[in-house]
Structure 1
Amino acid sequence: MSAADRNLSAAHAEVKTEIARTDAKTALLLAFVGAVLAGTWTIARDLPLNRPALVVGGVGLALLVGAAGLLLRSVRPNLSGRHGFPLWATLTAEEISTAVGGDLAADIAGLSRLAVTKFTCLRRAVDLTQVGGALLILAALLTLGGAAW
Structure 2
Amino acid sequence: MDAALGEAFGEVQGQIARTDTKASILLAVIGASLAVLGSAGSAVTLPLVGGIAAGLGTALLVAAAGLLLAVIRPRLLPAAPGTLTHWATLDAEAFRAEVVVDHRAAAVPALARMAVAKYRALQRAIDCIRAGGALLAIAALTAVGGAL
TM-score, with normalisation over the residues of structure 2?
A: 0.91
Q: Is 1:146–2:143 an aligned residue pair?
A: no
Task: Tell me the matched-pair count.
Answer: 144
1:4-83 maps to which residues of 2 (within 5 A)? 4-80=1-77, 82-83=79-80
Structure 2: runs of 5 or more not aligned: none
Q: Is 1:92–2:105 an aligned residue pair?
A: no
Aligned equivalents of 2:55 and 2:34: distance in 1? 11
Aligned equivalents of 1:28 and 1:135: distance in 2? 22
1:127 corresponds to? 127
RMSD: 1.5
Aligned equivalents of 1:15 and 1:81: distance in 2? 15
Aligned equivalents of 1:86 and 1:31: distance in 2? 28
CA contact (8 A) 1:70 1:122 kept: yes
CA contact (8 A) 2:30 2:61 kept: yes
What does the per-residue CA deviation read over 1:45-67, in whole Å, with 9 as the maximum and x for residues that have no partner? Answer: 11112111110111101111100
**Paired letter, 1:120:** R
CA contact (8 A) 1:81 1:90 kept: no
TM-score, with normalisation over the residues of structure 1?
A: 0.90
Query: Which stretch shows the higher mean deviation, 25-34 or 35-44?
Result: 35-44
Aligned equivalents of 2:78 and 2:71: distance in 1? 17
Give % identity. Answer: 44
Shift of 1:78: 1.2
Name segments (4+ residues, structure 1) moved above 6 Å. Answer: none
Shift of 1:81: 5.7
Structure 1: runs of 5 or more not aligned: none
Aligned equivalents of 1:70 and 1:85: distance in 2? 24
Aligned equivalents of 1:81 and 1:113: distance in 2? 10
